Amino acid sequence: MIYYIYERKFKELIDNIKALKVLPEDTKIIDIDTFLKDSPKDITHILVTSTLVKIKKLIPIAVERDITLGIIPSFEQKNLIKTFALPNNLEDAIKLALKPTEDKIDLLYCNNTLVLQEAVIGEAPPLDLFENSFNKNSLRDRFSLFWKTLNRVKKLKHTKMKITVANGNEIKLSAVGVVGIEYNNNTFASRLITAELSATDGKSTIAILSPQSILEYIGYLFKSIISYLTPSKLPESVGFIRSSLVKIETEKPLKIVIDSQNFDTTPVTLETKQTLLRLNVGENFWEQNSKEKNTKESIKIDHLPSDDERINYLSEGIPLFSHASQEQYASLFTSLREESKLNSTFLTLIILSTLIATLGLFINSSSVIIGAMLLAPLMQPIISLSMGVLRQDTSLINSGAKTITIGVLAVAFTASLTTLLTPIQHLTPEMTGRLSPTILDLFIAIVSGIAAAYVKSNDKIIGSLAGVAIAVALVPPIAVAGIGIGWGDWHMFYTAFLLFITNLVGIVLAAALTFMTLGFSPLHLAKKGVTIWLTIVAIVAIPLYSSFKQMKADISIQRNLSKLTFNLGSREVKLSNIKVLHHGKNEKIECEVISTAILSKSEKKRLKESILKSIHKQATIIVTFKYKL
């Protein structure tokens, strides 16, 4: 006998199904409360339209009597439809539900209570969300959900967990919540661990939410909720364990929610019983849940916090920035303390790099100057200083500052002495390029400081520090300042040294902020040092912004003069290769004059007056002539 069991709240849907006349004539239609009370013995097939709670009461009967259970969902039961790939069309849903099947699926139990969709232990946003609850929402709605979810994360606190799997292995870690699932049920958790899900292998999978910083988790939230993309790899905030038995014990009781219904508190045991239920499911169900029976357990939790230091830190609340482990902290600090010290190797390298840089500046060779940048060890104590500033570590600050100061003096003295011994007093383009620092140079220094700190904190890419040293030149500007001292040109010294100061303060501030982001200092400890260096950067930025405005004005002059044709009476001339040079209060304009013949004295005078009138200021005009044949 086929029994069609329904819940009274779906009476209208039952009437529609009766009207379709697609059910076999011998089908007995009965409400679920009566069925459970009478427990008839002549059942050969069960059809059901009901809520998830009542459906789960029928499953033990179907399992015990080894009969097929077919679900005819209402249109509103979208999560149920997605979980078991049921047809949206009512007639198709009835045909599927009536079809006997020999395929059996696993069942997941949480503390001996059946779980059809998910068991949530603690808080696990957004892993516990069903996608079809918002996948047709507007972008505005998704942003609203993003902020709501983020606010939930900000209020979460980590809890110590001991997880025991089927083979007896114990795993200790810290997390805010766990989602246990058996099937690909259209939740965010199932999207991340699709490859681990099977409906017949006797194993369930738990997704473990363990965000170590707000910033780290924002990336995953934005990608999943706003962009609606599944990460190509498991996010740093999420791990998983796949086993037939998972027992979770927590330091503090966490609430348990089974299929959206409040259930109990931890401890909790999740157990999978293999191939018990003959349930009619859609074809897509088997595409999303493999039939392969993989007997191996899978565990991916290496990136989750498990050491006592990080667990205790995270139990106070999820910080804005991640917290480095004791091992990472000790390794980096040992390296930085060593590199901040002044020694003979540092002095030897700094003097040799200065000699190379100074001679490269005189012969105008960029490749020679780049070689000097690679050799110079000045970046190391600067990074050490940035960490000292961040951690308010007086010994690291003093050691780094001392090494930098003596290094700068050594570069300036070596460059000055080399200049006095070199019979060349010609300003080369490589020198000129370091005499006009602007706010753009500060931005380059900031980006380089970020890169330097990131590289320094990661042993796998430490070799990239040389590239950072090239990107932001430290020794060449000081060498140019030393050349200025040797020539007695204090304007040259000031502008070149300003470029070095720009690089120094930009790197220190950016590296300190990067180390803070990477978790090497809590915000309350870093605040003082970061504020001081932010003030220093703001002061340095004042002359740099003035230089930037001057650069914009010079570009405007170059553009305007290049467009003009100057009428000198008997002929017209044009200007090309225009350069605007500043040296103290003196301003020079160098250019090439393209003419058809040699200019007379009066024509030269008229040309000069026309140029000065065009730029609306006084300047020294230096020209070379090119003749058009």
Segment 399-446, tens digit of pLDDT: 999 999 999 999 999 999 999 998 888 889 899 888 888 898 899 999
Q: What architecture is the 2-100 domain classified under in CATH? A: 3-Layer(aba) Sandwich (3.40)
Contacts made by residues 613-621, CB under 8 angstroms, sequence distance 24+:
614/560, 614/561, 614/564, 615/557, 615/560, 615/561, 615/589, 617/587, 618/587, 619/580, 619/587, 619/588, 619/589, 620/586, 620/587, 620/588, 620/589, 621/588, 621/589, 621/591
3-state helix, strand, coil in the chain (%, to 5): 50, 20, 30
The domains of the chain are located at 2-100, 110-314, 326-543, 564-627
* Residue range 490-495: mean pLDDT, rounded: 91
Mean pLDDT of 326-351: 85
Q: Which tokens go with 147?
A: 């902020």
pLDDT number for residue 135: 58
pLDDT of residue 600: 87
Domains 2-100 and 110-314 share a fold: no
Say if residue 134's pLDDT is above 60. Answer: no
Residue ranges with strand state E in 182-244: 204-209, 238-243
Instruction: Of 121-130, 457-466, 519-528, 536-545, give the lowest mean pLDDT range.
Output: 457-466
Which of 205-219, 240-254, 270-284 is predicted with the least confidence, judged by mean pLDDT?
205-219
**For residues 400 and 388, is the Cβ–Cβ distance under 8 A?**
yes
Nearest CA among 209, 203, 200, 195 for reference residue 129: 209
* Residue 79: pLDDT over 60: yes
Q: Determine the pLDDT at residue 467.
A: 62
pLDDT at 270 > cutoff 70: yes
Q: Which of 218-222, 326-330, 424-428, 593-597 has the lowest mean pLDDT?
A: 326-330
What pLDDT band is residue 133 in, cutting at 50, 70 and 90?
Answer: low
In which band, very low, low, confident or very high, does the pLDDT at 327 lie, cut at 50, 70 and 90? low
E strands of 280-376, at which residues? 298-300
> Quick one: pLDDT at residue 461?
62
Asked if residues 320 and 523 have their Cβ atoms less than 8 Å apart, the reply is yes
Level-2 CATH architecture, domain 110-314: Sandwich (2.60)
